[in-house]
């Protein structure tokens, strides 16, 4: 069992190139699943145990998670983790997938992303100072970072992992899951980054692009902490966060006529279904496009 688990983790890391966060979550889910089975079945868990599991065992597992107050999204992820391990074992003829494949995933409530208002966001990006007592280079750093997030749809950690030497109008970055993605910077975004670099008192040449006041890599938690204070000062909504810039990027592109496939590529989504959630945000915009495009309206 232990050897199988280590080989599975190795496969997730090397072949599937899953993120460290995903691998850690999958590993924890498997640990908790085994602990549940030990108590539920009253025996030490082995590969033979996995071969003999019944659908009722999985139902009991789900019931225990629900009873512990775990939400549907957490349960869906846990099931994905266990299924991933079972599929690994099945490819080596160690288990039969029939039982695990019959386990239905819980239904998730569809939570629509919350973008920021286009005008409010534009005004925010153009304020003279985000904090009145900030040094000019810090304001330029924040403006460059926020403009990059809104101008490209990058996730915050993707942006903070960019090295200064990588900055160009067209650049290649590693995205979630360690997959390569081509990033195109708008001229305004590139200009703001260059202005920040020119004014930063720290040497950025051989390190990360975005740094804190001590010259060390800026962390996502610091960015969100600043945003929580800034939203109160600049009339941004409660849901304003680093990730809301990504939601705003996708939503505003679609509202202004971009096609779904293009937005999918720009966001780096593997599946179009991941991008389609943004089409449910603004029905009024959809109606305007429909009226403008349909032959009966022309």
Place of tokens 């005008």: 119
**Residue 292 pLDDT > 80:** no
237: three-class secondary structure by DSSP: coil
Query: Which one of 2-16, 17-31, 190-204, 235-249 scores highest in mean pLDDT?
Result: 190-204
Domain ranges of the chain: 2-101, 118-241
Question: E strand or H helix at 49, and its extent?
Answer: helix 47-51
CA 212 to chain centre: 23
Place of tokens 């009722």: 56
Task: Outline where DSSP puts E strands in 165-209.
Answer: 170-174, 180-184
Per CATH, the architecture of 118-241 is what?
Orthogonal Bundle (1.10)
* pLDDT tens, residue by residue, 66-111: 888 887 778 888 989 999 999 999 998 888 878 788 877 767 555 5
**Mean predicted confidence (pLDDT) in 230-241:** 84
Question: Which residue would you say has higher pLDDT here, 234 or 278?
Answer: 234
Query: What distance in Å separates the CA atoms of residue 77 and residue 112, rounded to the nearest whole number?
Result: 19
* pLDDT tens, residue by residue, 108-133: 555 566 788 888 888 999 988 888 88
Task: Outline where DSSP puts E strands in 21-145.
Answer: none
pLDDT of residue 153: 86
For residue 102, the 8-state DSSP code is T
**Residue 295 pLDDT > 60:** no
User: Catalytic residue numbers?
Assistant: 155, 176, 243, 246, 269, 278
What number of CA atoms fall less than 13 Å from residue 94's CA on the CB side? 17
- Is the Cα torsion angle 101, 102, 103, 105 positive or negative in sign? positive
Q: At what angle do helices 242-255 and 118-125 cross, to 10 degrees?
A: 130
pLDDT of residue 298: 46
* pLDDT tens, residue by residue, 2-22: 899 999 999 998 888 888 888
* pLDDT tens, residue by residue, 256-276: 777 777 777 777 666 655 555
pLDDT of residue 167: 93
* The CATH number of the domain covering residues in 2-101: 1.10.150.130
**Mean predicted confidence (pLDDT) in 25-29:** 92
Q: Which residues have C-beta within 8 Å of that of residue 30, sequence separation ≥ 6?
A: 5, 81, 82, 85
* pLDDT tens, residue by residue, 142-177: 999 999 999 888 889 999 999 999 999 888 877 666
Question: Which residue would you say has higher pLDDT here, 212 or 173?
Answer: 212
């Amino acid at each position: 069992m232990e050897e199988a688990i280590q080989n599975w983790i190795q496969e997730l890391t090397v072949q599937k190139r899953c993120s460290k966060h995903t691998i850690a979550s999958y590993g924890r889910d498997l640990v908790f699943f085994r602990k549940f089975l030990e108590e539920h079945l009253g025996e030490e868990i082995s590969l033979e145990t996995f071969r003999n599991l019944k659908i009722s065992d999985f139902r009991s597992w789900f019931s225990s998670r629900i009873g512990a107050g775990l939400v549907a999204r957490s349960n869906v992820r846990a099931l994905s983790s266990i299924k991933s391990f079972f599929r690994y074992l099945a490819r080596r003829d160690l288990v039969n997938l029939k039982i695990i494949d019959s386990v239905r995933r819980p239904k998730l409530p569809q939570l629509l992303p919350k973008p920021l208002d286009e005008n409010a966001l534009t005004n925010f990006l153009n304020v003279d100072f985000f904090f009145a007592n900030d040094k000019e280079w810090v304001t330029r750093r924040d403006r460059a970072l926020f403009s990059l997030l809104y101008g490209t749809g990058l996730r915050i950690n993707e942006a903070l992992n960019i090295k200064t030497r990588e900055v160009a109008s067209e650049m290649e970055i590693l995205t979630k899951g360690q997959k390569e993605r081509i990033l195109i910077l708008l001229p305004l975004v590139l200009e703001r980054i260059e202005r920040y670099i020119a004014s930063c008192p720290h040497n950025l040449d051989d390190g990360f692009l975005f740094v804190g006041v001590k010259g060390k890599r800026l962390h996502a938690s610091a960015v969100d902490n600043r945003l929580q204070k800034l939203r109160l000062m600049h009339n941004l909504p409660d849901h304003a966060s680093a990730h809301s810039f990504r939601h705003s990027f996708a939503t505003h592109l679609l509202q202004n006529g971009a096609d779904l496939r293009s937005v999918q590529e720009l966001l780096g989504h593997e599946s179009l279904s991941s991008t389609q959630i943004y089409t449910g945000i603004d029905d009024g915009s959809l109606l305007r496009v429909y009226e403008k495009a349909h032959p009966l309206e022309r």
